[in-house]
Amino acid sequence: MIFFCLLFLPFLPVCRAEDTVQVVCQSEPVVVTAGDDVILPCSLRTTIRTVSAVDEVVEWQRPDLKPKKVHFYRNRVEYNDGQNPSYRGRTSLFEEEMKNGNISLKLTGVQLSDAGNYTCFVPTLKSPDQKDSVQLIVAAASLPEISVVGIDPMGVILKCEAGGLMYRPEMTWLDSDGNILPVGPTETVSEGRYTVRGHVTIQKTDNNMFTCRVLQHQINHQMETEIHVPDRMFPEPFSETCQSWWRSWWFGGLVLLIVVAGVLYILKSKGLLHCGRKSSRGVDQQGL
C-alpha cells in the first residue's frame, strides 16, 4: 500500500497544478467605437473546468486612475462605494452567469477617456493567479463622410473624410461587388489624432452603390460608409453627348433662320427694306 502511494506521489502536484483556479482575461485588445457598449471578457477557471464565482470577491480596476476602482462585487452584491466617478452607473457584471465562472465586465456608453488597461482582481482566491488584465482601445465615433464634389467627362467625383482616428489609417474605395477602385493620392494629417481624406472618380454601375472604408491596421479596426449616386448625376457617354449638342445646334440654327426670314419678309412687305441696286437707280434718275 505504501509502495502504491509512493508510486503516484510524484503525479499529485501535477494534478493540483492543473486544478489551480485562476483569473483569465482576453489576451487580445478589445476594440470599440466611442458611444457603443463593450464587454471586457474574463473568467474564473482551471485548465480543465470552469469555477463558480458567485461567492468570490471580484474587483475591476484601472491602475492608471485615482481612485482606480471601476467595479466591485462582494457577498453576491454589486457596490459602487469607492468607484471612480467617471464609471458611475455604467458598469455591471453578468450575475446569472457567474456560476459558470463568467466575471466579464460590461461597460456602457464608452468614451474616448475609457481607453486603457483594466485589471480583474479576485482577492479571495487561494492562488497566485488572482488577477489578469485586458486592454480596451476606443476608436473615434465619427464614421467616414462621403460627399459629391464634382462631375467631369470621366464620371462623378466623390470625396471621403474621416477624423479623430487614434492610429494611422488607410482609406479604400469599393464598388458594390467589393472590387477596389483606383484612387488618387490620399491625404493624412496628424494633429494629436489622424484625419484622412481621399477622392475617387466613379462611373455608372448596375446599382451605383459605392463604399469608403477606413482601416486602422495597428488595432485591426474598420469603419465604412456607403453612398448611392443617382443615374442622373452621371454624364452621358461622349458620342451621345456630341449627338445631343449637334441636335441642339441644328434646331437652334433652324429657329434662328426662320426668325430672320420672317423679319425680312415683314420689313419688305412694309416697304422698309430696299435693295441696294434699286436705290442706286433712283439716284441715277434724279441725276438725269
Domain 145-233 in this protein, CATH class: mainly beta
In whole angstroms, give the CA distance from residue 281 to residue 275.
10
Could you list the beta-strand ranges (E) of 62-127: 69-74, 77-79, 91-93, 105-107, 116-121
Q: Which CATH architecture has domain 19-139?
A: Sandwich (2.60)
At residue 130, φ and ψ (nearest 5 deg) are -85, -10
Q: What is the side-by-side order of every strand in the sheet holding 131-139?
A: 30-33, 131-139, 116-121, 58-61, 69-74, 77-79
Amino acid sitting at position 201: T
C-alpha cell at 245: 449638342
Cβ(69)–Cβ(85) below 8 Å: no
Q: How far is it, in rounded angstroms, from Cα 119 to Cα 123?
A: 12
Query: What are the b/e assignments for 102-128, b being 16+ CB within 10 Å?
Result: bbbbebeebeeebbeebbbbbeebeee
Same fold across 19-139 and 145-233: yes
What global pTM score does this model have? 0.59
Q: Quick one: pLDDT at residue 17?
A: 47
Return the residue matching grid coordinates 430672320: 260
The residue ranges of every structural domain in the chain are 19-139, 145-233
Question: Could you list the pLDDT tens digit for every one of the 288 residues in the chain?
Answer: 444 444 444 444 444 445 789 999 999 999 998 888 999 999 998 878 888 999 999 999 999 999 999 999 999 999 988 999 999 999 999 999 999 999 999 999 998 899 999 999 999 998 888 999 999 998 876 789 999 999 988 899 999 999 888 888 999 999 999 999 998 788 888 877 889 999 999 999 999 999 999 998 888 888 999 999 999 999 876 545 555 665 677 778 888 888 888 777 777 777 766 655 444 444 444 444
